[in-house]
Chain A
Amino acid sequence: MPQVTLKINGTEHTLDVAPNMPLLWALRDKLNLTGTKYSCGIGVCGACTVLVDGAPTRSCLMPATTMADREITTIEGLSADGNHPVQKAWNDEDVPQCGYCQGGQILAAAALLEQNPKPDDADIDRAMSGNLCRCGTYIRIRKAIKRAAQYAAEEGGDV
């Protein structure tokens, strides 16, 4: 079985993975990092979003073996104690309903703000339309991203 060393949330993990096993299943079933969710498995819903070198990536499509030497951030590692501006804004706007899609939404939003600290609705819609939310929390996602932008600006710096 191929072996791979993955750098996840700043920590290196060396693990045996089945050939072609997507990063999603390495995270969930090998490392018990279950914050990254499975929903479609074909790259169309965004529930499995992780950041790879800062870019939102569908972990259900990426073989784990191709991820060596990359910086992987999962929802568990976005901040030390849930105080990333996006996480704070998500709570203050009370975005979640069932919550299942929200880890992916938050990572996609954090990556957007990294690129564009003051996105408007059109920017948000463009960046977030790969992430499905069956419960329909879209209005709050728009609001929360704007609020997070404000929090980040107040903190005077990096999102």
Chain B
Amino acid sequence: MNAQRRDDRGNMDRRAFLKTTLLASGALLIGVGSCGNPNAGKTGRETWNPNLYVRIDPDGTITIVSKNPDAGQGVKTAFPMVVAECLEVDWKDVHVEQAPADDRYGRQALGGSRGTPDGWDDLRIAGTGALYLLMGAAAKEWGVPTSECSAASGVITHEPSGRTKAYASLLETAATLPAPEVSELKLKSRPSEFKLLGTFVPGVDNPKILTGQPIYGSDIRLDGMLYAVYQKCPVFGGKARSANLEHVRSLPGVTHAFIVPGTDEYSGLQPGVAIVAETFWEANSAREALEVDWETTHADSSEGYAEQAKTLAAEPGETLRHDGDVDATFDRSVTIVEASYHYPFVAHATMEPMNCTALLHESGKLELWAPSQNPQTQRKLISQTLGIPEGRIHVNQVRIGGAFGRRSRLDFAVEAAWIARETGRPVQLLWTREDDMAHDFYRPAGWHHFKAGLSDEGRMIAFDHHFITLGMGGKTVSGARLSANHYPAGLVPNFRLRQSIIETHVPTGPWRSPGHSAYCFAYQSFFDEVALAAGRDPLEFRLDLLSQSFGKPQLDTERGSGTLRVAAEKAGWGREMENNRGLGIAFHFDHRGYAAHVAEVSIDGDRFTLDKVYSAVDVGPILNLSGAKNQVEGAVMDGLSTTQLETTIAGGSAQQTNFHAHPMLRIDKAPEVECHFIQSDNSPTGLGEPPFAPVAPAIANAIFAASGTRIRELPFRRSGFIL
């Protein structure tokens, strides 16, 4: 019952199998399993480890378990669509159920645009396997060969006689048949084979979202539940020595106030003071009277980092990659272009602040509801911190009010678990916006020094890149690492990447397309400078860069240039522009996806308007056209928004702690977006991240085209432009 299958990197090293069960209710359950150990099949000791289930009820309802968290990226709709497509059922008959955190489902995380590529095979195997069983059952009941049967809309038809049977009438017979070999299944894979996939399907949670039903973590209400706030030291990593707890406990509604010693781990239980009350309002009001003596160890500042970055820029740094001979090539280059770029820290600022509800049952079982991108890691962290065995921790998945990488860190969940255990009552911990923005895992700041050497035909023959980034203990912090193999590595004959590290105390983490999201701004802007210095068109320069390879570039250059061509064509690249208007182009490859944008801007003094963005994206076939377009439109809005935002550090703390100081995009500045998907026959990959990174440089390049001013720093305000 085993067949080889690709893992998430495309390697054929896992084994999948199907298993069926007839439930007492008469429902047929079909699961896809995989053997964790690739050799297990040989020894015959596979463990039943289903990655997902499909259930067909006698009334014809198809239930599909959605195993991953949904924070708006749309997997809860798109994945069941894949099953429905392969199972040949109508979408209206499909019902989606959210799974709790459970190791049996394999990886359940949201992040890295990995959900789609990881799930693609299992989803198709489940749907197609179930279809084969039902076809087999119908053929058996009729005594005809399966090859004479076809399926559509939950009905099997015997073609020669025209007889039909609904799936729901075949469940018992289907359960008696052996599950098909995965290797025998013919899986749909091309857009030309799809009926449901690629169409516009509204989200399955819409009816609840649009009527305000309780589906988010912060909506959980339990009997006898108390509300907690948690005050941490404004200076990152500070510890509470003492606090006026007696006084705080005497305030209206307050039931508990205590110090949590915590750990030194930023992504674990950070030290702080918990205040618990009958309502959130009372807990948070009591906080105004809280006085804490904090022990702090640093007073880091953005200005201090900038000073250090200046000093380090003069040093050689550590060479991470060197192809050819960069210095010798500079000596024979006809033109040298040099520029430096910088971007600051940025908070995630999800609309739903961090929160978690925890209930310690009398049995000792700990139950949690948290908007978490990684419910399994959450369980592990809580188990380790509180000393409760993982088997006694149950994590429910709730809909997530925005994630963008923030909720891959589970500090808030372990805080809630600790507070619930201390109080012995069900507790909902809710962070205020101020907590959320003062204790984020920020997108890290960075500095890039570029130098390019051009040949007499205007080709970039040497590229030196000194990246000054942030680290702790000499190692780059999360989100602050630049892969030595990333574009344009492998496309320039003489290429060098150097790195220097500034020690930091600021917590950092993944932020929509970690790393890429910021440095793409730097080098896609710089390539514009290089193209112009070479007297070449920025589009033509980029296409030329993708046309030659030296060694093995990480990306498929054809798919890359495909997105550039489509975006440029749709935008009418090269057309005459009025005064004060301009077009800018940028391209990026990350998380296995390709995206190019052309931005059209107009400027009026120091104000700019992003009028329209033409986007071309290649992530293979599109699953849900609605969700996919929503991701691209959202990425454009987020990309534009982030050109205006920064979190500055002073005295060891974040300075912007609510939206008034963090001017996110509002509807009146939202551009039009024209989105084009290049639906190749490649396997589909994720869309949450790839379209984000090239937005900011496309805008910056358009502002240059309109104004002649080059933006080399985020937020744009620092280069004199506001939205």
A residues in contact (CB < 8 Å) with B: 1, 18, 20-22, 25, 28-30, 32-42, 44-45, 47, 74-76, 78-79, 81-82, 87, 90-92, 94, 96-103, 106, 124-126, 128-142
Q: Interface of B with A (CB < 8 Å)?
A: 71-74, 200-203, 205-207, 209-214, 216, 218-219, 221, 227, 252-253, 279-282, 285, 349-353, 399-404, 430, 432-433, 626-627, 630-631, 633-638, 641, 658-660, 664-668, 670, 672-673
User: Could you write out 26 A-B pairs with CB less than 8 Å apart?
Assistant: A20-B285, A25-B280, A29-B281, A34-B219, A35-B211, A37-B216, A45-B351, A94-B202, A96-B205, A98-B403, A99-B209, A99-B399, A100-B216, A100-B350, A103-B209, A103-B212, A125-B667, A131-B667, A132-B666, A133-B667, A134-B664, A135-B637, A135-B638, A136-B637, A136-B670, A142-B667
Question: B77: shortest Cβ distance to chain A, in Å?
Answer: 9
**Chain A residues closer than 8 Å to B399, beta-carbon distance:** 98-99
Q: How far is the CA of A129 from the CA of B353 in the complex (A)?
A: 21
Q: Is the CB of A74 within 8 A of B349?
A: no
Q: Would you call A87 and B351 a contact (CB within 8 A)?
A: no
Of A30, A35, A76, A126, the most chain B CB neighbours within 10 A belong to: A35
Bound-state CA distance A102–B666 (Å) is 14
Contact of B401 among A99, A126, A139 (CB under 8 A): A99
Among A21, A28, A47, A136, residue most surrounded by chain B Cβ atoms (within 10 Å): A136
* A1 CB contacts on chain B under 8 angstroms: 252
Looking at the assembled complex, report how far the CB atom of B619 sits from the nearest CB atom of chain A, in whole angstroms.
Answer: 17
Q: Are B252 and A82 in contact (CB under 8 A)?
A: no
**Closest 6 CB pairs between A and B?**
A35-B212, A136-B637, A100-B401, A98-B72, A97-B72, A75-B212
8 Å CB contact of A42 from B72, B207, B660: B660
Q: How far is the CB of B208 from chain A (nearest CB, A)?
A: 8
Give A137 to B353 CA distance when docked, in angstroms.
19
Within the complex, the shortest CB–CB distance from A4 to chain B, in Å, comes to: 14
**Given known A-B contacts A29-B280, A94-B202, A138-B637, A76 and B212 have beta carbons under 8 A apart:** yes
Q: Say whether B71 contacts A125, CB under 8 Å.
A: no
Which of A40, A125, A136, A139 has a CB less than 8 Å from the CB of B672?
A: A139
Report the bound CA distance from A133 to B401 in whole Å: 11
| Residue in A40, A94, A97 whose beta carbon sits within 8 Å of that of B634 in the complex | A97
Report yes or no: A100 in contact with B638, Cβ–Cβ below 8 A: no
**When the two chains form the complex, which single residue of B207, B280, B667 contacts A129, counting CB atoms closer than 8 Å?**
B667
Q: Is the CB of A25 within 8 A of B281?
A: yes
Chain B: minimal CB distance from A116 (Å):
16
A-B contact count (CB 8 A): 195
Contact between B633 and A96, CB atoms less than 8 A apart: no
> Residue of A at shortest CB range from B213?
A35
Q: Are A42 and B351 in contact (CB under 8 A)?
A: no
Which residues of chain A are within 8 angstroms of B209 by Cβ–Cβ distance? 96, 99, 102-103
Docked complex Cα distance between A106 and B352 (Å): 17
Interface of A is mostly: loop
Nearest CB to that of A138 among chain B residues? Answer: B670
A98 and B351 contact, Cβ closer than 8 Å, known pairs A90-B210, A129-B666, A137-B630: yes
Quick one: which of A45, A102, A134 has the most chain B CB within 10 A? A134
A106 to B210 alpha-carbon distance, docked (Å):
8
How long is the Cα–Cα vector from A137 to B227 in the complex, in angstroms?
31
Q: Which of B252, B400, B433 contacts A41 (CB 8 A)?
A: B433
Q: Distance (Å) between the CB of A68 and the closest chain B CB? A: 18
Contact A44–B660 (Cβ < 8 Å): yes
A2 and B264 alpha carbons, distance in the complex (Å)? 43
Q: In the assembled complex, which residues on chain B have CB atoms less than 8 Å from the CB atom of A134?
A: 349-351, 402, 404, 638, 664
Q: Are the C-beta atoms of A32 and B212 separated by less than 8 Å?
A: no
Q: How far is the CA of A91 from the CA of B401 in the complex (A)?
A: 18
State the CA gap A28–B213 with chains docked (Å): 12
Cβ contact within 8 Å between B279 and A44: no
| A145 nearest CB across to chain B (Å) | 10
Question: Is A124's CB under 8 angstroms from B212's CB?
Answer: no
B548 to chain A, nearest CB (A): 36
Contacting pair A32 B221 (CB below 8 A): yes
User: In whole angstroms, what is the CA distance A136 to B211 when docked?
Assistant: 20
State whether A75 touches B211 (Cβ < 8 A). yes
Q: Which residues of A contact B203 (CB under 8 A)?
A: 94, 96, 99
Measured between beta carbons, the chain B residues less than 8 angstroms from A37 are: 216, 218, 351-352, 401
Q: A98-B400, A98-B401, A136-B638 are in contact. Are A47 and B351 (CB under 8 A)?
A: yes
In the complex, A22→B281 CA distance in Å?
Answer: 8
Establish whether residues A136 and B633, one from each chain, have CB atoms under 8 Å apart when the complex forms: yes
Q: Which residues of B contact A75 (CB under 8 A)?
A: 210-212
Give the complex CA separation of A28 and B281 in angstroms.
Answer: 10
Q: Determine how close the nearest CB of chain B comes to the CB of A81; give it in whole angstroms.
A: 8
Q: Is the CB of B202 within 8 A of A40?
A: no
Residue of A nearest to B403 (CB): A98
Known contacts: A29-B279, A99-B401, A136-B636. The answer to whether A44 contacts B670 by CB under 8 A is: no
Question: Which residues of the other chain, B, contact A132 by a CB distance below 8 angstroms?
Answer: 351, 659, 664, 666
Given contacts A91-B202, A94-B206, contact A100 B666 (CB under 8 A): no
With a cutoff of 8 Å between Cβ atoms, the chain B residues found around residue A22 in the complex are 281
Q: Are B659 and A45 in contact (CB under 8 A)?
A: yes
Of all chain B residues, the one with the shortest Cβ separation from A90 is B210
CB-based contact B202/A128 at 8 Å? no
- With A37-B352, A94-B626, A99-B205 given, is the CB distance from A137 to B634 under 8 Å? yes
**Residue of A37, A96, A97 contacting most chain B CB atoms (<10 Å):** A97
Interface pair B667/A34, CB less than 8 Å apart:
no
Cross-chain contact B210 with A28 (CB below 8 angstroms): no
State the CA gap A89–B156 with chains docked (Å): 35
- Cα-based distance from A75 to B219 in the complex (angstroms): 14
Known: A91-B210, A135-B402. 17 other contacts (CB 8 A): A18-B253, A18-B279, A35-B212, A35-B214, A37-B216, A40-B433, A81-B211, A97-B72, A97-B402, A98-B402, A129-B667, A131-B666, A133-B351, A134-B349, A135-B630, A138-B670, A139-B673
- Interchain nearest-CB distance for A87 vs B (Å): 5
B639 nearest CB neighbor, chain A only: A136
Q: Kindly list chain A residues whose C-beta atoms are within 8 Å of the C-beta of B216.
A: 34, 37, 100
- How many Å from the CB of B407 to the closest CB on chain A? 11
Q: Which residues of A contact B280 (CB under 8 A)?
A: 25, 28-29
Contact check, A100 vs B670: say whether CB atoms are below 8 A apart: no
Cβ–Cβ < 8 Å partners of A125 in chain B: 667-668
Asked whether A38 lies within 8 Å of B282 as measured between CB atoms, the reply is no
Q: How far is the CB of A83 from chain B (nearest CB, A)?
A: 10
- Which residues of the partner chain B approach A82 to less than 8 Å between Cβ atoms? 207, 210-211
- Bound Cα distance A96, B399 (Å): 12
- Tell me the smallest distance from the CB of A132 to a CB of chain B, in Å: 6
A105 CB to closest chain B CB (Å) equals 9
What residues of chain B lie closer than 8 Å to A41, measured between beta carbons?
432-433, 658
Give Cα distance in the complex from A87 to B211, angstroms.
8
**In this complex, what residue of A is CB-closest to B402?**
A98
With A and B bound together, what is the CA distance between A22 and B399 in angstroms?
Answer: 26
Do A21 and B281 contact each other (CB < 8 Å), given the known contacts A47-B351, A129-B668? yes
- Do B212 and A74 touch across chains, with their CB atoms under 8 A apart? yes
Question: B667 touching A128 by the CB < 8 A rule?
Answer: yes
Q: How far is the CB of B440 from chain A (nearest CB, A)?
A: 13
A39 near B351: Cβ-Cβ < 8 Å: yes
Please state if A25 and B667 are interface contacts (CB–CB under 8 Å).
no
- In contact, A34 and B214 (Cβ under 8 angstroms): yes
A11 to B347, CA, bound (A): 41
Q: Complex Cα distance A39/B659, Å?
A: 9
- Bound-complex Cα distance A39 to B437 (A): 11
Give the distance in Å from the alpha carbon of A136 to the alpha carbon of B350 in the complex. Answer: 11
Report how far A132 CA is from B660 CA in the complex, Å.
Answer: 12
- Chain B residues contacting A140 (CB-CB under 8 Å) are 630, 633
Residues in A neighbouring B206, C-beta threshold 8 A: 90-91, 94, 96, 99
Cα–Cα distance between A30 and B225 once the two chains are bound (Å): 11
A99 to B205, CA, bound (A): 9
Contacts of A34 in B (CB 8 A): 212, 214, 216, 218-219, 221
